[in-house]
Amino acid sequence: MEPTAAGSLPSSAVIHVARGSFDPSRFGEVDALAVKQADYLVPAIGALPGLLHWYTAVSPVGSIVNISIWDTGEHAEQMYTLKEMAEIARGEFTALGALTFAPIVDYPIVWSI
């Protein structure tokens, strides 16, 4: 398979990566909360313009990640202020006392396969 210039994605597409870490002994709590949050995050995020793909994953080694692909960086930036994510979901994880959040980064896509 040969790399392409982002395949069928717009040339302005970005990958938005939000990560957190936690004590692996709390995997069950973190995983259960992430699953529960889908009830309100899926409709809220899905209604935003420019979303191409979204993935949430929780690893038993103590890491959680949200990876999304957006048509433009401007659309990806909606995640910084989306109430359901920036206030409610983050607040629930903060109240759980389990997560340390890493800085969120938007990456312009250079190539894909």
- Give the pLDDT confidence score for residue 111 in this predicted structure: 86
Domains delineated in the chain: 14-108 (3.30.70.100)
Which residues make beta-bridge pairs with 51? Answer: 70
Give the model confidence (pLDDT) of 79-99 as tens digits: 999 999 999 999 999 998 888
Q: For residue 98, how many other CB atoms are within 10 A of its CB?
A: 19
pTM of this prediction? 0.88
pLDDT tier at 1, thresholds 50, 70, 90: very low
Q: Count of alpha carbons within 13 Å of 74, Cβ hemisphere only?
A: 2
- The per-residue pLDDT of the chain, averaged, comes to 92
